[in-house]
Chain A
């Protein structure tokens, strides 16, 4: 295998930069600040390239979908049309001589352009919010089917769920203010204790993954799984 294809190289790069960033985070060394800042900007630039990658990835999935007329292929057409359309009109272009009221620059196209604003206000926002709102219907149906007191644990979950519903609904607290106190206690004491446990567990897991990455045992982040 050619030397530049060896796995040790990306592992070494990851380890060196990770150790540097950890050192810089925990030991506030002013002399290192400009280096860190440049590194972070570099990461940001690299990350923005991922947008282009996403664009290509969508093309690679949906163009063959249409050509081969796979299942649900007609949905790929509006997706691609809107992707190109929004990308083109979303790209900022500056007018060479902007009117005074706009200061030093004016976007001919870009996200402040009336076409983009029209699509954003009248298509994207309502469509996105509508999809999310459908959850209300599914949750109502799912809660009805799932909240059955089949066991003591399920009964406790059911009771806690109902009390939280009564706390969150102004009608519940209008009937009896005690629902607000009970709900606040539930979210502030037992919930907080559980969430602390989960948060600490996630932190420990993250540290473990970090250490495995540093010593080259975690290779899932390159070469499609290592």
Chain B
């Protein structure tokens, strides 16, 4: 017996859904719609916090995500990196230390540094910024690094002894960083554990690092909100849409801005299918009752 229209509405073949998702992702990428991107207050707070780093301040920059989430975390990381180097160009006293507690994140940081013309061949490397690479062992690694930077990150990403880098020479512990630099901003781009809760336990409370901003995958944002509410973090860049907002704020549209049109289309497709499924469900329910 063939299915009724209502039954068909309740049971659309998943291959049809997959095909439509594929088309609606590809279409806006080929033909961008350029929809306006409204700026959320939690994104604006992050942007303002980075801009507020004074000349002579320190930015600790941790890339704590894998390759899998590069679609969301990649544009966030890229946006932050462009902003911090622009900021350093305007305020030459700012110092930046890159590192990561996820191995893949540090490789992506290095790739983006190269794209910005920075890294080991740059004459300013080691003087105004440094890339310490991956710090293993998650939360334990955070505690170890904070207690003894030179023993934990004996060599930087490029194999240099960090004691030979002028920036790192006198910075032996996280306490040294906090004592030497009156304004320390910590940026973490992350997609899971280890991530913010571990930083709060190992760094914020013991070392009194108050200015923390987070960029995370959209699925992690609900978990970040309690920390925004308590003031433990300043703000959150929320997934791809947050990255697009950030690109608007730094006035450098890129991958995220292009991706938000695809995000819009697929979100509306899901809503359309949810509505169709529910119409079918209630129609069938009505027929059974009658």
Q: List the interface of chain A (C-beta within 8 A of B).
A: 25, 28, 33, 36-37, 40-41, 43-44, 47-48, 92, 94, 101-107, 110-112, 120-121, 124-125, 128-129, 131-133, 136-137, 139-141, 143-145, 147-150, 158, 161-162, 165-166, 168-174, 177, 180, 184, 187-188, 191-192, 195-196, 199
Q: Is there a chain A Cβ closer than 8 Å to B290's Cβ?
A: no
Are B264 and A44 closer than 8 Å at their CB atoms?
Answer: no
28 pairs, A vs B, C-beta closer than 8 Å: A37-B151, A44-B140, A102-B121, A103-B120, A103-B158, A104-B159, A104-B160, A105-B155, A105-B158, A125-B67, A129-B67, A137-B18, A140-B270, A144-B12, A148-B278, A149-B282, A166-B267, A169-B267, A170-B36, A170-B241, A170-B260, A170-B261, A171-B267, A171-B268, A173-B38, A187-B225, A188-B229, A192-B229
Tally of contact residues, B, Cβ under 8 A: 74
Residues of A within 8 A of B69 (CB): 129, 132
Q: Which 8 A-B pairs have the closest CB atoms?
A: A171-B264, A132-B68, A128-B67, A169-B267, A105-B159, A144-B273, A40-B144, A169-B264
Question: Bound state CA distance, A136 and B219, in angstroms?
Answer: 12
Are B225 and A195 closer than 8 Å at their CB atoms?
Answer: yes
**Within the complex, what minimum Cβ distance (angstroms) separates A58 from chain B?**
17
Q: A170-B244, A187-B225 are in contact. Are A162 and B274 (CB under 8 A)?
A: yes
Question: Bound state CA distance, A166 and B38, in angstroms?
Answer: 13
Interface of B is mostly: helix
* Residue in A111, A141, A188 whose beta carbon sits within 8 Å of that of B107 in the complex: A111
Residues of A within 8 A of B41 (CB): 184
**Within the complex, what minimum Cβ distance (angstroms) separates A128 from chain B?**
4
Question: Bound state CA distance, A102 and B238, in angstroms?
Answer: 38
Are A41 and B263 closer than 8 Å at their CB atoms?
Answer: no
B106-143 toward A: CB 8 Å interface, digit per residue (1/0)? 01101100000000110000000000000011001101
Question: Bound state CA distance, A139 and B239, in angstroms?
Answer: 16
Are B37 and A170 closer than 8 Å at their CB atoms?
Answer: yes
Residue of B nearest to A105 (CB): B159
Are B222 and A170 closer than 8 Å at their CB atoms?
Answer: no
Q: Is there a chain A Cβ closer than 8 Å to B152's Cβ?
A: yes
Residues of A within 8 A of B25 (CB): 136
Q: Is there a chain A Cβ closer than 8 Å to B277's Cβ?
A: yes
Residue of B nearest to A200 (CB): B226
**Within the complex, what minimum Cβ distance (angstroms) separates A163 from chain B?**
10
Residue of A nearest to B217 (CB): A132
Residues of B within 8 A of A47 (CB): 136-137, 140-141
Residues of A within 8 A of B164 (CB): 103-104
Residues of B within 8 A of A147 (CB): 274, 277-278
B18-37 toward A: CB 8 Å interface, digit per residue (1/0)? 10011001000000000111
Q: A37-B151, A40-B147 are in contact. Are A141 and B158 (CB under 8 A)?
A: no
